[in-house]
Amino acid sequence: MTSLHTQSEASVQHRQGLPRALMQRQWFAPLGALLLIILCMGVVSPDFLSIRVVDGHLYGSLIDVVHRGSSAALVAVGMAIVIGTRGIDLSVGSVIAISGAVMAVLISETELPPWLIILAAVGSGVLCGLWNGVLVAYLEIQPIISTLILMVAGRGIAQMITGGQIVTFHGEFFEAIGSGYLLGIPWRVLIAAAVILALWLTMRKTALGLFIEAVGGNARASRLAGIDSRGITLLAYVISGVCSAVAGIIIAADIRGADANNAGLWLELDAILAVVLGGAALMGGRFYLGATVIGVLIIQSLTTGILLSGLPSQYTLVVKAGVVLLVLLMQAPEFRRSMAAVLRRRQHED
């Protein structure tokens, strides 16, 4: 009897601890906020939840959220890795403009094969990442200043590449990247998902993710432990540059041209916000790629939903900021402790 009673008591404790265990998961608050936002937008605008198939392609606001958020997700995961090293990358928008300019000029003025053009565009992102990484890791210039240099100069570099003009191009391969579909799913979503999945596997299934978090937590201690903290920091900025370059390729392919002034403009702010919504610490030491992607979907869902609701454009940013504040409140340790205490009291009362 005692054994049965003990097993029953353990089972009850396990069930009671499940809500608290879920609340402690890093993805719980962002995912809960995303689902709540989607439901609220569905109530305000029922069309927001409708998904239909037209000409073999998936259409609907939810599909548009994922479609439009793919490039921002690429930038955000790169930003998350940099923030994990206790850094920041303000140049991602300029890198998008540079890579898009390189791709557009090569398509319109040369006969190079598509794979070589893409390689050149991604290579421009690698060079930008190396520039930022050398300034931060080896010259020990503050990350916000180092990347601000390229943020300012990058737009000028992109304009020099395009000659100060909006360069347009035509090509089935690149147009498919921007607006094509595979089995009803946009190509840009598949590309972004493949890159993000590869990064997640690299960060969580190898030692690289631990090295990045170690460098962000304490660079000096990581060096004493035998970690090449400078090399890891340099690699983080290169990864961010590659992610931004791929996003630039997608954006340029979508508009079939390169706009050095507006491509990726202020996207670095949404990327940083998505990383914060994902629960990463801006002081470094921890980052979450999956939760960062959820943060991007939160931002994009708000933007799409508010536009569909017919709310005047001047209220969009205010509503967006208010919802973000609520999500951050849900992630605050003190708020979580208070909610856990409320759950415990209710369980004892039951």
What is the distance between the alpha carbons of residues 6 and 8, in angstroms, rounded to a whole number? 5
pLDDT in tens, 1-41: 444 444 444 444 444 455 555 556 667 778 888 888 888 88
Q: Tokens representing 229? A: 């903290």
What is the predicted pLDDT for the residue at 214? 92
Q: What is the pLDDT of residue 215?
A: 93
Higher pLDDT, 334 or 313: 334
Whether the Cβ atoms of residue 81 and residue 111 lie closer than 8 Å to each other: no
Mean pLDDT of the chain: 85
> Quick check: 82 pLDDT over 90?
yes
For the stretch 163-189, pLDDT in tens is 888 899 888 889 889 888 888 888 999
At 350 the pLDDT is: 64
Q: How far is Cα 300 from Cα 308, in angstroms, rounded to an integer?
A: 12
Q: Which range among 52-61, 82-91, 162-171, 281-290 has the greatest average pLDDT?
A: 82-91
* pLDDT tops 80 at residue 333: no
What is the pLDDT at residue 265? Answer: 86
Question: Tell me, what's the pLDDT at 241?
Answer: 97
Q: Which is it for strands 167-168 and 257-258: parallel, antiparallel or unpaired?
A: antiparallel
Reduced to 3 states (helix: H, G, I; strand: E, B; else coil), residue 105 is: helix
Q: Which of 249, 297, 308, 301 is closest to 274 using CA atoms?
A: 297
Kindly list the distances between the CA atom of residue 33 and the CA atoms of 218, 244, 294, 296, 326, in Å, as whole numbers in the listed order.
32, 26, 9, 12, 9
Least confident range from 15-24, 55-64, 276-285: namely 15-24
pTM: 0.86
Distance of CA 211 to CAs 20, 119, 190, 281, Å?
Answer: 30, 28, 28, 16
Asked which of 53-57, 246-250, 254-258 is least confident by mean pLDDT, the reply is 53-57
CA–CA gap between residue 93 and residue 157 (Å, rounded): 12
Average pLDDT over residues 263-271: 88
Q: Which tens digit of pLDDT belongs to each residue from 190-245?
A: 999 999 999 999 999 999 999 999 999 888 888 888 899 999 999 999 999 999 99
The C-alpha atoms of residue 24 and residue 239 are separated, in whole angstroms, by 29
Q: What percent of the chain has pLDDT over 90?
A: 45
Helix (H, G, I), strand (E, B) or coil at 168: strand
Mean pLDDT within 250-257: 92
Q: Give which of 43, 67, 31, 347 is closest to 185, Cα–Cα.
A: 67
User: What one-character DSSP code corresponds to residue 186?
Assistant: E
Q: pLDDT higher for 6 or 151?
A: 151
Q: Are 134 and 234 in contact (CB under 8 A)?
A: yes
Give the rounded distance of the alpha carbon of 79 from its chain centre: 7
The helix (H) or strand (E) run that includes residue 47 is none
Pinpoint the alpha helices (H) of 168-256: 172-179, 187-205, 208-217, 219-224, 229-255
Distance between start and end Cα atoms, the chain: 24
Let me know: does 91 contact 154? Beta carbons within 8 Å.
yes
Domain chopping of the chain, boundaries: 64-288
pLDDT recorded at residue 190: 94
b or e along 140-172 (b: 16 or more beta carbons within 10 Å of the residue's beta carbon)?
A: eeebeebbebbbeebbebbbebbeeeebebeee
Mean per-residue pLDDT for 126-151?
A: 95
The answer to whether residue 99 scores a pLDDT higher than 70 is yes
Element (H, E) at 226: none
pLDDT of residue 87: 93
Structural contact between residues 227 and 207, judged by C-beta atoms closer than 8 angstroms? no
Give the residue-averaged pLDDT of 261-271: 88
